[in-house]
Amino acid sequence: MNELLNFHQKNLIITLCSDGDASKCSLAEKAINGILTSDEVEELCNLISNEFMLNGITESFEPNDYGKELENLLDAVNKNRLK
């Protein structure tokens, strides 16, 4: 997966995972290195989706700029599962 993530997306994953415990930090490291299990991909997708719902949409439920970044990140993380 690491070749699918750009520098900004990698930093975004680190930020999303940094608010959690040590397992979340490990999740970020594995995502950046492209070695996530399917359960870990699911966990990361849930983190991204939750962040999107909390901070990625406007009052009219349209994605804001941050939300669009999160959608792109979700696409990149899910790419291997969608093949």
pLDDT digits (tens, 9 = 90+) for 3-57: 679 999 999 999 999 976 788 889 999 999 989 999 999 999 999 999 999 999 9
Q: What is the pTM of this model?
A: 0.88
Nearest to 45 by CA among 7, 13, 20: 13
State the DSSP H helix or E strand holding residue 39, giving kind and residue range, or none if neither: helix 38-55
What are the start-end ranges of the E strands in 1-83?
Answer: none
